[in-house]
Chains A and B, each alone.
Chain A
């Protein structure tokens, strides 16, 4: 007995070593390109450094400054607003589209491709087109709005009241396809028998959607909500190409501020402190989500 046990453990040992050897290249990459920079940035957030010369340890000074920095506050609020607008709408629309394109539609593949296409298009290229669409004087949106009798159409990207919403619209449009694919995969696991039973009980499509589809998809919804949240907190590319944080500071989101602070103002320590705050915020929100999931996710 004892003998056999020893033998297995030897075998497992060897297997594990082989496994780790296969993992090694990936782990190495992870350590060099992700783990190390993250740790370095953590330590850097307690220093003051302009990219040259001595790195000066300043303790918590960066964080104290951040607490009083109005610019940081603006970008923080902008990021929260952006997330509040974009995440629920993206996920909701993605579910609706996924259910509609799940089965029984003619040319289903063409429609699915059409919805997914924005996601694989480069943000920079997309931004150029959206800039034309949003153009307040010559763009098609305002052209349409004024033709139906709206005298004062919004200024979209050029108006501080609308710019964050405009960027959200582009962001939502870009991301729906990605989440749709995940939901479509989730829908494959919902057994038809549930819908058949509901049919017999006389349930309509809306009841079925809320009573069967949503609960059955809840693990997927949970997963996507975490991913979407992180993605929207990290938004940078669309802001950079659409508005450069403007007009004024109306679309200056956290990551945009971080990039600016580090690479325009050359305050690497301060930028790292901002990044650390961003990390902590995402961590806390994800933690809350994980705690909350027990109440609504069905496995």
Chain B
């Protein structure tokens, strides 16, 4: 008897739930058809407006998700954009950087998506949500010359799916005061990693709280493997021999005592950016976004020393000023109803006008032209003095921008296995052997061949 009642009640609940779900679905489909009709009427009205009153395009609103660090610059550039495109409203949102892709993918997967979003192509391309931009670029006669080689090298399976607004390249920041105090010459633009090692040793001094490290590398896998990639190797190569030397090099610096150990850096959660600002670090190998932070710190009077930049050191037989970069692009959701408006926004932000804003805040932009270069170098009143080096940098991608490379290879293979070598739990040979094997098992078997870079 009781059981029967429970069953009745349960089925009532399930029915009720079904009803709720049904309503939801109905609403959804209703919404979709509504949207369809609006798009229909829009395209219809578009035809008429272009005939009668082309002055007044319909007002549209699009949503864009960007990296938190870039949000401010986007908002400043947006004010400029608004002057040219008064009918396009853009809502710019952001998520915390460590959860950025997770959040973004959930939003997009849930269908309540963004029309435009920033990010590295490799983290999004497998979603199959990216609008190929080639047609829009042709229709709008977009000038793509400024993107240089990036334009073609970032194609995925032949399509342009994102336009780069920044390169995020590696540079070396140095504390001029520490060099002056020691009477040592400032780092030159043409240093090999061996020269750098000697210099780092020379600049290291003190103990405990007075410790001054000659150099600092972040506790990221990229930071130990960068000398290998500078030679043209990539982390998905079948032969990872160059990475052995890179790992060895990092360990040599640690045993010299001239850099903070991996363990200490990780356990104290040290960030190269804020650590450098304390003034107890001579040379910092870091990303270009530190320029903007240092300028800001200086403005707020938080910086007590003079600083400048130089290209990162290079391996023996590699040309000077060879660096790594990781372009960040703007991409368009292929399900957006406002393709044209979204494209206008992307074109503006990644093109010359947007690039000027980013460049003047110290960011190396994907788009380059004389005007952008001028904005990047500034009028000489702003530090760093030697920022012009980076206009001639030859860059390799930090990693091939293919799906899974960042999430699988770097995060779950290079980081933990490299760490075991750096804390002396695994020999270098073992480490590289394991990495090679795991890359094959956990990445290549699944992803290799599915996506192709370039034309």
Contacts and interface: CB of A to CB of B under 8 A. Distances in A.
Give chain A's interface secondary structure class.
loop
A215 interface: no
Given A247-B419, A265-B407, A158 B267 contact: yes
Interface stretch (A25-33, A83-91, A106-114, A118-126): A25-33
Interface in B87-109: 102, 105-106, 108-109
Contacts of A260: 411-412
Interface string B255-267: 0000000011011
Given A51-B106, A52-B108, A136-B267, A248 B408 contact: no
A28 B416 contact: no
Interface string B404-430: 100110011001110110010110000
Interface in A167-216: none
Interface string A120-140: 000000000001001111000
Contact of B109 (A52, A158, A265): A52
B420 A265 contact: no
A269 interface: no
Interface residues of B, number: 37
Given A135-B267, A265-B412, A158 B126 contact: no
A159 interface: yes
A25 B228 CA distance: 60
B423 A247 contact: yes
B13 A246 contact: no
A109 B17 CA distance: 48
A155 B267 CA distance: 11
B127 A52 contact: yes
Given A16-B5, A264-B412, A265-B408, A31 B423 contact: no
A245 B423 CA distance: 15
Interface in A20-58: 20, 24, 27-28, 31-32, 50-53
A266 B407 contact: yes
A155 B263 CA distance: 9
B128 interface: yes
B128 A249 contact: no
A20 B11 CA distance: 13
13 contacts: A13-B5, A31-B17, A51-B127, A52-B128, A131-B268, A135-B267, A135-B268, A137-B264, A158-B266, A158-B267, A248-B425, A265-B407, A265-B408
The 10 closest A-B pairs by CB, nearest first: A248-B420, A158-B263, A51-B109, A52-B127, A263-B102, A248-B416, A20-B9, A264-B407, A247-B419, A265-B407
Given A155-B263, A158-B423, 11 more contacts: A9-B1, A24-B13, A28-B13, A52-B129, A53-B128, A71-B442, A155-B423, A158-B267, A246-B415, A265-B404, A266-B105
